[in-house]
Amino acid sequence: MKVGIVTYGAYLPKLAISAQEIATGNGQTATPDLGVKQKTVPDLDEDTITIATEASQLALLSAKSTDKLKKQIGCLFIGSESHPYAVKPSGTVVASALGLPTDLSLADLQFACKAGTQGLQIALMYVLANQIKFGLAVGADTAQAAPGDVLEYTAAAGGAAFVVGTNSSQEKILAELLGTSSYATDTPDFWRRPQQTYPSHGGRFTGGPAYFAHISQATKALLKKLDLKPEDFTYAVFHTPNGKFPVAAAKQLGFNKKQLSQSLIVEKVGNTYAAATLLALANVLDHAKPGDKILMTSYGSGAGADSFAFVCTPALLEFRKRQSTTIQDYLARLQLINYLEYRQRSRQ
């Protein structure tokens, strides 16, 4: 049975702050060499729930039949590191705001930056198991970082939502799933204990044994499973904690810069954590053509990686006629704020 993405939507806050402004605000003379020029900043009325709702609403509005699709969504999974409540699901609020059925498999997921792709993987499996017709997976975050910490230059906000299903008269697959693989170990490179306001991280330890090892293992396992090579793909998406790691990971695995051409929005957006890989995928889909193959591998600290392969279909071109907002539209509307305005929002 063929399964894949039938519609998608994304959301980015309109506010942003430059890396140089953060450095100046912290009394630093230079910014870290992270390949990130600026990052998005959530406004006072934006959190994971509002961002997830907005991205999901845009996905539904871009469907061929919004009302019919909503009635047939059988699961909702929201991945995030910044759910507003420690005890109370974000998903119930989002489902209610969207008008989804109450006959719904629903859960909030938390696996650092790969919580969004974990939700996508689960939703796809629900459909493949013929338990539901359509599933909704969302990655959304308003990431936090301690003032002066290197993470402050990248921790950002945004969300992306994907509805998955099979081909039907109602909806057509835009990007068909070819396969997926995962890899996980107990590698504590990044963590936050209860009552802590900001996360801690292992510095350079977050690179080799964490990000690169897991990205590599998950990607290689998928390529072997599908008997495909890096050159078989038009586009590649690797999780973007900064602008340097995905470029280095691609090179190690045999992918080239052209294949990354649409996935490095981190340079203007920052690291949106559970939304990062999915936002990059959305931007790739905004530019891809029928027949293009896309490889996507996320990474979540703690640690794990999910790898996916998709092939785009002719339905993607029809989808663009219905699509109201692209990632590039969001990037074009970004408004830079100063460090004082940024800190006022960060304390909320």
The position carrying tokens 């690179």 is 207
Q: What is the mean pLDDT of residues 4-13?
A: 98
Q: State the chain's mean pLDDT as an integer.
A: 94
Q: Domain coordinates of the chain in residue numbers?
A: 4-173+317-346, 176-312
Pairing state between β 175-184 and 157-165:
unpaired
**Which residue among 46, 83, 113, 312 is the active-site one?**
113
pLDDT at 169: 75
CA neighbours closer than 13 Å in the CB half-sphere of residue 229: 2
Q: Judge if 4-173+317-346 and 176-312 fold alike in CATH terms.
A: yes
Please state whether the peptide bond connecting residue 145 to the residue before it is cis, i.e. omega within 30 degrees of 0.
no
Q: Which helix (H) or strand (E) holds 57?
A: helix 48-61
Query: Against a cut of 0.85, is the pTM above it?
Result: yes
One-letter amino acid for residue 15 of the chain? L
Domain 4-173+317-346 has CATH 1.10.8.60: no
Q: What is the pLDDT of residue 347?
A: 55
Distances (CA, A) of 150 to 70, 244, 269, 273, 285: 41, 14, 16, 15, 31
Between CA 188 and CA 210 the distance in angstroms is 8
237 to each of 42, 246, 276, 284, how far by Cα in Å? Answer: 24, 8, 10, 8
What is the pLDDT, as a whole number, of residue 226?
98
* pLDDT, tens digit, 9 for 90 and up, residues 131-155: 999 999 999 999 988 888 888 999 9
Model pLDDT for residues 117-127, shown as the tens digit of each residue: 999 999 999 99
pLDDT at 201: 63
Catalytic-role residue among 83, 201, 214, 239: 239
Report pLDDT digits (tens) over 313-338: 999 999 999 999 999 999 999 999 99
CATH 3.40.47.10 corresponds to the domain 176-312: yes
| Catalytic option among 21, 46, 54, 81 | 81
- Is residue 251 within 8 A of residue 338, CB to CB? The reply is no
Active site residue 239: yes
Confidence of residue 203 (pLDDT cuts 50, 70, 90): low
81: its two tokens: 């590191």
Q: What is the pLDDT of residue 348?
A: 46
75 included as an active-site residue: no
CB atoms within 10 A of CB 232: 12
pLDDT higher than threshold 90 for residue 170? no
pLDDT in tens, 70-82: 999 999 999 999 9
